[in-house]
Chain A
Amino acid sequence: EAGVAQSPRYKIIEKRQSVAFWCNPISGHATLYWYQQILGQGPKLLIQFQNNGVVDDSQLPKDRFSAERLKGVDSTLKIQPAKLEDSAVYLCASSLVGPQETQYFGPGTRLLVL
């Protein structure tokens, strides 16, 4: 079974620039999550999709972050404009909807904002 795919793996940008990350979940997984993991901290949930609808985006900084999940499959997370404090690993995870809500994580995109 193929895992969660993310791209790019690394990105370096200057502050005030924009950046986009892409995630392809495991086939058949209805739920998709985006997390931000700052160095030395645990992942923080940014947004959760159920199919192509948003379940929880309470911690998404909506003035600069946006996310979409077209057709309930792939998802993109965008930051515009980026700030220095956005330097982090952005993790995508997916899960089935069912008795065992196991999240499977992708390898993450490591973002450095200079």
Chain B
Amino acid sequence: QKEVEQDPGPLSVPEGAIVSLNCTYSNSAFQYFMWYRQYSRKGPELLMYTYSSGNKEDGRFTAQVDKSSKYISLFIRDSQPSDSATYLCAMSPNYGQNFVFGPGTRLSVLP
């Protein structure tokens, strides 16, 4: 079992749809959870950063962490074609180090 797993996609949705992206993990020591967006031929950029369990909202994006189930989610409301990218979850047990990334989910939002 890989340490961090994601639905591989690709995922195609119509513009305006609500998108749910998910990751599961096996290491119960993970405490810091991140979501990155990576456009083709670009480096990842941080979207959301959460600590421990709970929800965090930023504009159209909501991140949820359920440590008891070892499950994290990213929701995108009112999805736009510009949201088309690969979404990577990442997590770490320690502040600022030992980051582990998931393999990514490719999302296409169709106009």
Contacts and interface: CB of A to CB of B under 8 A. Distances in A.
A91 B44 CA distance: 9
A102 B46 contact: yes
A43 B100 CA distance: 8
A87 to B, nearest CB: 15
A88 interface: no
A107 B101 contact: no
Nearest to B32: A101
A108 B43 contact: yes
Contacts of A106: 43
A93 B103 contact: no
Contact of A56 (B42, B97, B104): B97
Given A100-B49, A102-B49, A43 B44 contact: yes
B95 A42 contact: no
Place the interface of chain A in its size category: 20 to 34
A96 to B, nearest CB: 10
B97 A48 contact: yes
Place the interface of chain B in its size category: 20 to 34
Nearest to B96: A101
A62 interface: no
Interface string B17-58: 000000000000000100000000111111001000000000
Interface in A55-111: 55-56, 91, 93, 95, 97, 100-108, 110
Interface string A31-56: 10100000011111100100000011
Contacts of B44: 43, 91, 105
Contact of B102 (A42, A102, A105): A42
B43 A4 contact: yes
Contacts of B76: none
A32 to B, nearest CB: 12
Contact of B96 (A42, A91, A97): A97
Interface of B: 4, 32, 41-46, 49, 88, 90, 95-104
Nearest 7 CB-CB pairs, A to B? A105-B43, A42-B101, A101-B96, A42-B103, A43-B101, A41-B103, A105-B44
